[in-house]
Amino acid sequence: MLHPTAIISPTATIGNNVSIGPYSLIGDHVTLHDDVKIAGHVVIEGPCEIGSGTEVFPFASIGQPPQDLKFAGEETRLIIGERNVIREYVTMNRGTAGGGGLTSVGNDNLFMAQAHIAHDCHVGSHTVFANAGTLAGHVEVADHATIGAYSAVHQFCRVGRHAFVGGFSVVVKDALPYARTVGNHASCYGANTIGLRRKGFTNEEIRHIQHAFHILLTSKLNTTQALERLKAEMTGLPEIDYLIEFIETSQRGVVK
């Protein structure tokens, strides 16, 4: 399963049933768990760990040093979970000491061609990055989020659970969970109703989320007043509790 033209460091750890294609480079301190598939012409540098069942397509560059002028060669890591699909020309960089030293990716994500995960980002599970979806450093993307094609998320921003960022968007504040966030600079257009239905949310749960966004976006209340009204009317609903917590813990403000 290891092509004779592949270059594999003696310090790399290779699991069972791993395949590595022609002319790929597996560097020092890389760990490939069971059933990982590495196509030809892939470069993976360590320290880096790739979970079982993940597939990496040609010309991806994984675990390279961060594109941060403050980086001084310190040892940092990239950890990728299980069953991810990493398509052509995707780039994922290791972390920096100033950002905690770790870039992490969860499980069951799809990274389409040319997507970029910068240093110290933390991506959850079941996310979709369309072609050339781009994260600057220190971005957090929660589970089930979608980043549209050729969209960019500013450093230190967060993207909430089940958020949908439309194509060609520029996100400079936190993108709200369950919402459609689109444009340059991005604006929020309410609940991502179609996406929530596809993810199995009930009609009642969707109605609650729609009502919450009506209060946040169209009630003419400022954010503080809207949060107080949400707490008074809808506390105890898990989706709304998470939405409130997401807004209250924002450091950059949220897209409205």
Q: Catalytic residues, which ones?
A: 119-120, 137
Q: Which of 87, 100, 198, 176 is nearest to 133 (CA)?
A: 87
10 Å Cβ neighbour count for 142? 22
Token pair listed for 27: 């560097």
Return d(Cα 138, Cα 104) in angstroms, integer.
11
Strands (E), 65-205: 77-80, 85-86, 91-93, 102-105, 110-111, 116-117, 122-123, 128-129, 134-135, 140-141, 146-147, 152-153, 158-159, 164-165, 170-171, 179-183, 186-191
Return d(Cα 42, Cα 63) in angstroms, integer.
11
Decide if 153 contacts 139 (C-beta within 8 A).
Answer: yes
